[in-house]
A and B are shown apart, each in its own frame.
Chain A
Amino acid sequence: MSEKELIKIEQCTKTYGKKVALCNFSCSLKGGRIVGLLGPNGSGKTTLIKILNGLLKDYQGTVLIDGQKPNTHTKSIISYLPDETYLEDWMKARDALSMFHDLYKDFDLEKCLTLMKRMDLHPDMRIKSMSKGMKEKFQLALVMSRKAKIYILDEPIGGVDPAARELILEIILNNYSEDSLVLISTHLISDIEKIFEEVIFIKDGELVISGNAEELRHERGQSIDEIFREVFKC
């Protein structure tokens, strides 16, 4: 498995007016891993993800993706599942499929159709008629059908029921390529912690804990979920 450093962040700070969203945040992420970015709502997860995807530019510090600052090349190697849908109500699933086909050279249409079948989704379905969970599953199918170096999934299990969560985890495990990096942000930890190799805890824009998930369990005799509850106790 590849050990190539795919994301490097050094002392990254991002403010919105007076509010500090990200504060001196540093981390280094290598390929071949599934990494959990864990923090409660408003802790800075989505800000960080938007910076990685080149959607926020006015930050301080260094952000390198595959050795480059966020640009068109880095965008082309990241498959990104945003926390909000970009599927429009007027679309049919088919329209989104052809959009992905046109936009991304690494999009595998056959694979996406197979995944959709497993999710009981059909290309002729209207986005408007899909439930929140169906839209989430469909977007995940689109995103996981790209053969990307980096997958960034912002809250992939937020809106789906527990049974669908298992399917989503299985799809993530089954479809990322072995040397790619999968970064998953979530606040629903117990459902997903077993698939993380590394975890990063973010609190008020700062990194508080990071490390190998199994080592953390071993050192503390606690699950990642329990550590999370302790760190973020109100």
Chain B
Amino acid sequence: MINFDSNIPIYIQVMDYIKKEIVSGKLKSGDQVDTVREMAIFFGVNPNTIQRALQELEREGLLKSERTSGRFISATSETIQELKLHQGHEKTTRYVIEMKSLGFTKEETVNLVKESKGDNE
């Protein structure tokens, strides 16, 4: 089960999770996604919440449903690139704001990013 922040509508968090899977390449264009019930159990949430998240993703063009065979990832490489950039922007903004509140200048922050080895540290 995923830890959700229950202050935010859960369908949005389910959407974000799936978008992340797409951006990171875990879900590729043409891949079939799990059924609503399977996802409801995986996320531990109401099936109608999953239904709503999937419908929104369809509307954004990231998923498409085939009447008989289920739902598939339909994002083009451009959309995925856009999505990636968008998520990168969001995360960076949050990070920069937090660094600012700790008293770092933009340059200092950039230097720290350059020095950081991420996971390998």
Binding site for B on A (CB under 8 A): 1, 32-34, 166, 169-170, 173-174, 178, 190, 193-197, 213-214, 217-218, 221-226
Report if A224-B6 is in contact (Cβ < 8 Å); known contacts: A173-B37, A214-B49, A214-B52. yes
Query: Complex Cα distance A33/B51, Å?
Result: 12
- In the bound complex, residues from chain B placing their C-beta under 8 Å from that of A221 are 7-8
Interface residue range, chain B:
10 to 19
A124 to chain B minimum Cβ distance, whole angstroms, is 29
Q: Contact between A33 and B7 (Cβ–Cβ < 8 Å)?
A: no
- Complex CA–CA separation, A223 to B52 (angstroms): 18
What are 13 A-B pairs with beta-carbon distances under 8 A? A1-B48, A169-B44, A173-B44, A173-B47, A194-B10, A194-B43, A194-B44, A194-B46, A195-B40, A195-B46, A197-B49, A221-B7, A223-B6
17 new A-B contacts, CB < 8 A, other than A174-B37, A193-B6, are A32-B48, A33-B48, A166-B44, A173-B47, A190-B6, A194-B4, A194-B44, A194-B46, A195-B44, A196-B46, A197-B49, A217-B9, A221-B7, A223-B6, A223-B7, A226-B6, A226-B7
Q: How far is the CA of A213 from the CA of B9 in the complex (A)?
A: 8
B residues with a Cβ closer than 8 A to A are 1, 4, 6-11, 37, 40-41, 43-49, 52
Given A190-B6, A197-B49; A214-B44 close (CB under 8 Å): no
Overall SS of chain A's interface = helix
Q: Cβ of A194 and Cβ of B45 under 8 Å apart?
A: yes
Check B44–A217 contact: CB distance below 8 A: no
Kindly list chain B residues whose C-beta atoms are within 8 Å of the C-beta of A218. Answer: 9
The residue on A at minimum CB distance from B4 is A194
Contact (Cβ within 8 A) B41 A166 = no
Could you tell me the distance between the alpha carbons of A196 and B9 in the complex, rounded to whole angstroms? Answer: 12
Given contacts A197-B49, A214-B49, A214-B52, contact A170 B9 (CB under 8 A): no
On chain B, the residues within 8 Å of A169 by CB distance are 44
Option from B10, B40, B43 in Cβ contact (under 8 Å) with A214: B10
Closest 3 CB pairs of A and B: A223-B6, A194-B45, A214-B9
Residues of B contacting A224 in the complex (Cβ-Cβ under 8 angstroms): 6
Q: A166-B1, A195-B46, A196-B46 are in contact. Are A217 and B41 (CB under 8 A)?
A: no
Of A1, A33, A194, which one neighbours B6 at CB under 8 angstroms?
Answer: A194
Please give the distance in Å from B35's CB to the nearest CB on chain A.
Answer: 11
Q: For B40, what are the chain A residues with a Cβ–Cβ distance below 8 Å? A: 173, 195
Residues of A within 8 A of B41 (CB): 170, 173-174
Contact A217 B8 (CB under 8 A): yes
Cβ of B42 to closest chain A Cβ, rounded Å: 9
Tell which of B4, B41, B44 has the most Cβ of chain A within 10 Å. B44
Q: Is the CB of B49 within 8 A of A217?
A: no
* Whole-angstrom CA separation of A190 from B7 in the bound complex: 11
- Chain B residues with Cβ below 8 Å from A32 are 48
